[in-house]
Amino acid sequence: MLKTNKIIYSVLLISIICIGFLVFSKHSSGTPVVIGGIFPLSGQTASYGVYLKQGSELALDDAIGAGLIKNGDVSLVMEDSAGDPAKGVAAFQKMVNINNVVAVIPALSGVTLAVKPIGNEKHIAMINGSAISTSIEDADDYMFSILPNADTEGAFLAELAYKQGKRTMGILYRNDSSGVSFDAVFKKRFTELGGHIVYEDSHVPYATDFRAYATKIGHIKGIDGVFVASYGPEVATYLKQSNELSVHVQVYAYTTAYSPKVLEIAGPAAEGLTFSAPSFDVNDSNNTIVQEFKDKIFKKYGSTDNNYYIASHYDAMMILIAAISNGNKTGDQIRNYVANLKTYKGKTGLITFDKNGLGSVPLNAYVVKNGSFEKI
């Protein structure tokens, strides 16, 4: 009887140890590797901040669920830049000095350019999934991008407008690093093709009154298009106000226009808006990857508001996690891992990196038709 009890106790003890080991093995046994996200979680670009936050969080959830990393191996900390470069720098410094981040995902061109020198100095790997200034990827350093910049997208738009028969164009651009880049690239390519730029002006970031610009454009004889190189809500406001002034000049825009917020603000005035965007199409009902991604967003956040930037930040986070899962836990190691990637197959498609770390994906052209986004 005593011998039987000892056997039972031994079996129970072994079982408890095994269960404990299984539970423990699902969690990290060490200090987590910390990734930071500097997003506009408040202010006039907060709607984009929501997308960036969701994409980053979804990637971390999926990486753990797929067994790529254990729960606790990687920690994601986020700070609000409010779209302000100075606040972005303060957030970056806090993450480096207090949170001990080894990698950061910055957002928006102004903020990204402001934190880039600090990241290079501190050896912090950085992946950009939203900013398009041509000044971001100017060297082989600690900064990488996974979306086309203004060089690629601006030239694409100039060629699209020319192909659609536009010969006399205007440019109204946001007076920041992204808008300045788009202005220069679009103007150069459009004139190379034989077109003429007859109007060129800039507006302050977060402008809400575009009536004076629309009035000037409406009085230019023979103008047959205008490239509004601004954030989506600004493009939408321009469309709404120019329509109210009966100025009906074809408007072109870039990726930030691909947002339900644009349709909400502009209303019927959005009809005919033509823009470029990466080929990851949130409205493609035949693409199983897109539909599965939309289902995940709805399941986690209860939201049907989908956007390219959710997917791009999912990819940015996943690339960093892939580096970490392969044993790279310092900024230098992660930087070297990403620098050696030639391509990466992500939610947004096949990302191809150049020698400076600029990743590009295929672009599509879209138009607003009957209140919806339609691929051209």
The CATH code of domain 151-282+364-375 reads 3.40.50.2300
CATH 3.40.50.2300 residue window(s) in the chain: 33-149+286-362, 151-282+364-375
pLDDT tens-digit readout, 241-265: 999 999 999 999 999 999 888 999 9
User: Strands, E, within 218-329: which ranges?
Assistant: 225-229, 251-253, 274-278
The residue behind tokens 């950061």 is 104
The Cα 126–Cα 145 span in angstroms is 8
pLDDT at 207 over 90: yes
CB 104 within 8 A of CB 37: yes
Least-confidence region, from 89-93, 239-243, 348-352: 348-352
The two beta strands, 349-353 and 359-360, are antiparallel
pLDDT tens-digit readout, 4-27: 444 444 443 444 344 444 444 444
The residue behind tokens 């990302």 is 351
In this prediction, residue 113 carries a pLDDT of 95
Rg of the chain taking only CA atoms, in angstroms? 24
**What are residue 80's DSSP bridge partners?**
39
- Assign 188 to helix, strand or coil: helix
Arithmetic mean of pLDDT, 105-109:
94
In this prediction, residue 245 carries a pLDDT of 97
Categorize the per-residue pLDDT at 217 as very low, low, confident or very high, splitting at 50, 70 and 90.
very high
- Residue 32 is classified by DSSP as P
Q: What is the mean pLDDT of the chain?
A: 90
Structure tokens that stand for 333 in this block: 């190691």
pTM confidence score? 0.79
Categorize the per-residue pLDDT at 44 as very low, low, confident or very high, splitting at 50, 70 and 90.
confident
Q: Which of 78, 97, 72 is nearest to 36 (CA)?
A: 78
In this prediction, residue 29 carries a pLDDT of 53
The Cα 281–Cα 348 span in angstroms is 9
The two beta strands, 103-106 and 225-229, are unpaired
pLDDT at 123 over 90: yes
CATH architecture of 33-149+286-362: 3-Layer(aba) Sandwich (3.40)
pLDDT tens-digit readout, 319-346: 999 999 999 999 999 999 999 999 999 9
The residue behind tokens 């693409």 is 287
- Phi then psi for residue 30, to 5 deg, are -130, -170
CB 316 within 8 A of CB 105: yes
pLDDT tens-digit readout, 142-181: 999 999 889 999 999 999 999 999 999 999 999 998 999 9
CB 144 within 8 A of CB 126: yes
In this prediction, residue 28 carries a pLDDT of 52
pLDDT at 66 over 80: yes
In this prediction, residue 276 carries a pLDDT of 94
pLDDT at 306 over 60: yes
72 class by beta-carbon count within 10 Å (0-12 exposed, 13-18 middle, 19+ buried): middle
Structure tokens that stand for 254 in this block: 């870039």
Least-confidence region, from 36-40, 54-58, 82-86, 255-259: 255-259
Q: Which of 127, 155, 364 is nearest to 258 (CA)?
A: 364
The percent of residues above 90 in pLDDT, for the chain, comes to 74
